[in-house]
């Protein structure tokens, strides 16, 4: 018999928190606006299938992923409702969109023509979303090209325009002129092509929180559903959102080291006094970024302990000098709360010069996940 061995590093995701966050974000958009649950990147590290189901409980019936494979996995796990594939797919794979009833985001004329052919052959109407770049400088056609694309789509019988999508470069910044500019360009499209006026969608979490005028028939929430503010700052608008992920490990050794002892590769940390060091079985391959070497903190028995020396691939050391009761087996919280202390994704992100999004993906997608409600 093969025994089930669980890693000592564990990501715990609270599904009721995900459900509650969806409800809270839904209450921020107008009644008539649908709220898409972005579940790309394995739901920002929370587990795509489980997160989609948690959002479904709160009424979510439209989901977003980046790639085709993710969308098919959602269908194979019984997720119903609409699924948007934000990066489209290879031309040779377009027929799978019809097979699994998926809606691609399109930005290429030939893809649209191929979809018309596939729709005709399979006697289906394939729903598509046209991607327009209103200033993000990423994927999409220009607003000037929109007219000819819309004409093309209108002339088709087996392809149906379900949406016109765009994306904000600075939705997380209140009053940012780039965002106002994008909204203006979108409004111009709406005025020019009145038949698409009920199909536009542009707002991400930042847009939903900071630009209420950006709501259309659909808004798309990602990071806020996972409990974080897009700009990393908790404000009155975001304080009711709760992080759903906790990352914890346990002490595998506690030992005394003498003053002058170097710790870990390169001896970048040298004990200034005799001290107590704890060893934890977590390193950069588990999502604990090496840039946290000599910088990060973790929680043991409700107190903060500093990371000492370089973070290795699977292991790192922490200073337990002030946490005298800590013993092997004690829980070590890397992301989350213990006692009255909390380490948030935003705190870690600030230390690593990145954003909470990346921290959640790194921990969530590199460790075993456990679900609680």
The window from 146-154, 216-224, 250-258, 283-291 that contacts ligand PLP (CB under 6 A) reads: 216-224
Interface of this chain with ligand PLP, residues 46 to 85, rule: CB under 6 A: none
- Closest to 156 (Cα-Cα) out of 192, 199, 125: 125
Q: Which of 14, 204, 238, 293 binds ligand PLP (CB under 6 A)?
A: 204
Which is nearer to ligand PLP, 38 or 161 (by Cβ)?
A: 38
Q: Which of 38, 54, 118, 280 binds ligand PLP (CB under 6 A)?
A: 38
267-276, Cβ contacts within 8 angstroms, sequence gap of 24 or more: 267/309, 268/293, 268/294, 268/309, 268/310, 269/294, 269/308, 269/309, 269/310, 269/317, 273/321, 275/319, 275/320, 275/321, 276/319, 276/320, 276/321, 276/323, 276/324, 276/326
Interface of this chain with ligand PLP, residues 85 to 124, rule: CB under 6 A: 86
| In the complex, minimum distance from the CB of residue 166 to ligand PLP, in angstroms, rounded to a whole number | 9
Q: What is the DSSP string of 85-117?
A: ETT---GGGHHHHHHTT-EEEE--HHHHHHHHH
Q: Which residue is nearest to ligand PLP (CB)?
A: 222
Output the CA angle 277-278-282, nearest 5 degrees.
Answer: 135
Count of Cβ atoms closer than 10 Å to residue 110 Cβ? 9
Which is nearer to ligand PLP, 62 or 223 (by Cβ)?
A: 223
Known catalytic residue: 192? no
| 205 lies in the binding site for ligand PLP (CB under 6 A) | yes
Query: How far is it between the farthest Cα atoms of the chain?
Result: 79
- Closest to 347 (Cα-Cα) out of 247, 270, 250, 271: 247
- Alpha-carbon distance of 107 to 133, in angstroms, equals 10
| 228 lies in the binding site for ligand PLP (CB under 6 A) | no
| In the complex, minimum distance from the CB of residue 203 to ligand PLP, in angstroms, rounded to a whole number | 8
Q: Which of 230, 283, 287, 336 binds ligand PLP (CB under 6 A)?
A: 230
- Closest to 91 (Cα-Cα) out of 72, 74, 108, 75: 108
Sign of CA dihedral 251, 350, 283, 47: positive
Known catalytic residue: 265? yes
Which is nearer to ligand PLP, 202 or 320 (by Cβ)?
A: 202
The window from 71-79, 180-188, 219-227, 364-372 that contacts ligand PLP (CB under 6 A) reads: 219-227
| In the complex, minimum distance from the CB of residue 26 to ligand PLP, in angstroms, rounded to a whole number | 14
| 222 lies in the binding site for ligand PLP (CB under 6 A) | yes
| In the complex, minimum distance from the CB of residue 303 to ligand PLP, in angstroms, rounded to a whole number | 33
* Marked catalytic residue, from 76, 99, 192, 265: 265
| In the complex, minimum distance from the CB of residue 172 to ligand PLP, in angstroms, rounded to a whole number | 7
CA dihedral (267, 296, 336, 341) in degrees, to 10, reads: 110
Output the CA angle 163-107-42, nearest 5 degrees.
Answer: 75
- Closest to 23 (Cα-Cα) out of 227, 288, 289: 227
| 220 lies in the binding site for ligand PLP (CB under 6 A) | yes
Interface of this chain with ligand PLP, residues 290 to 349, rule: CB under 6 A: none
Interface of this chain with ligand PLP, residues 146 to 175, rule: CB under 6 A: 167
Catalytically active residues are: 40, 265
Residues forming the site for ligand PLP (CB under 6 A): 38, 86, 167, 204-206, 220-224, 230
């Amino acid at each position: 018999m093969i025994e089930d061995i669980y890693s000592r590093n564990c990501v715990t995701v609270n599904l009721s928190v995900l459900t509650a966050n969806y409800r809270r974000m839904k209450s921020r958009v107008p009644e008539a606006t649908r709220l898409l649950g972005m579940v790309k990147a394995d739901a920002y590290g929370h587990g795509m299938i489980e997160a989609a189901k948690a959002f479904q409980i709160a009424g979510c019936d439209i989901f977003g992923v980046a790639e085709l494979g993710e969308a098919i996995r959602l269908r194979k796990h019984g997720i119903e409702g609409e699924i948007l594939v934000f990066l489209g797919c290879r031309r040779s794979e377009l027929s799978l969109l019809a097979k699994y009833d998926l809606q691609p985001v399109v930005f290429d004329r030939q893809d649209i023509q191929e979809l018309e052919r596939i729709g005709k052959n399979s006697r289906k109407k394939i729903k598509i979303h046209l991607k327009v770049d209103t200033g993000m400088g990423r994927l999409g056609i220009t607003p000037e090209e929109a007219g000819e694309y819309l004409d093309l789509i209108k002339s088709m019988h087996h392809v149906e325009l379900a949406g016109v999508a765009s994306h904000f470069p600075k939705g997380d910044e209140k009053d940012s002129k780039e965002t106002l500019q994008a909204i203006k360009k979108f409004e111009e499209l709406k005025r020019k092509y009145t038949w698409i006026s009920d199909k536009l969608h542009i707002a991400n979490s930042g847009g939903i929180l900071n630009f209420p005028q950006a709501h259309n028939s659909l808004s798309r929430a990602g990071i806020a559903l996972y409990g974080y503010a897009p700009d990393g700052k908790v404000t009155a608008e975001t304080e009711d959102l709760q992080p759903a992920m906790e990352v914890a490990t346990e002490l595998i050794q506690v030992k005394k080291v003498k003053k002058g002892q170097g710790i870990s590769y390169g001896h970048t940390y040298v004990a200034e006094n005799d001290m107590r060091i704890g060893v934890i079985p977590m390193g950069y391959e588990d999502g604990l970024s090496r840039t946290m070497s000599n910088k990060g903190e973790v929680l043991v028995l409700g107190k903060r302990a500093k990371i000492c020396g370089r973070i290795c691939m699977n292991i790192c050391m922490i200073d337990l000098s002030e946490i005298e009761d800590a013993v092997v087996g004690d829980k070590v919280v890397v992301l989350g709360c213990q006692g009255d202390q909390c380490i948030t994704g935003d705190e870690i992100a600030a230390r690593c010069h990145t954003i909470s999004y990346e921290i959640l993906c790194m921990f969530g997608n590199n460790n075993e996940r456990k679900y609680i409600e």
